[in-house]
Amino acid sequence: MSALINLIWFVFGGFILAIAWYIIGIIFYITIIGIPIGKVCFEFAKLSMFPFGKEIIRETELKGKQNVLGIKKVFHVVINIIWIPIGILFTLTYFVLGIISFITIIGIPIGIVYVRMGQFLLFPVGARVVSKKQAYASAVANEIERRQR
């Protein structure tokens, strides 16, 4: 079912949205300093292209808290703080698009996608887009690891 919805999403705007985010990511990569934001733009383009059946998960949840270096966590926080003004603007935009989509009954799934995208854009550095199966598997692995300690 999600494959059909993803195909419809892709045809009616997902492709254009993803291309726009890939272009923004390339522009950030050119600046060298913006490489972390460029990586985030590529992750977001992956979500924008086929959003159904995907989850947004923090890198610490995906790999486990002990497997992410402390300096990398601090770096993510610093870049996210720098990103906040842009992130708030994007988040509000996607939330408004979500609310507009929620007005129609048929647009509720699209509204949910826009809200999820808005959440991603508020603090994007350190977040990854993975399949729902991979997110569930990492959650189970983290729970098993936590219980063993």
- Whether 46 and 19 have beta carbons less than 8 Å apart is answered as no
| pTM score | 0.81
Rg of the chain over Cα atoms, rounded to whole angstroms, equals 16
- Whether 146 and 138 have beta carbons less than 8 Å apart is answered as no
Over residues 4-60, the pLDDT tens digits come to 889 989 998 899 999 999 999 999 999 988 898 999 999 999 999 999 989 888 877
Any bridge partners for residue 62, and if so which? none
Give the DSSP per-residue string, 98-145.
HHHHHHSGGGHHHHHHHHHHHHHHHS-TTEEEEEHHHHHHHHHHHHHH
Over residues 68-109, the pLDDT tens digits come to 677 777 888 888 898 899 999 999 999 999 999 999 888 898
Rounded Cα gap, residues 119 and 66, in angstroms = 25
Q: How many residues can be counted in the chain?
A: 149
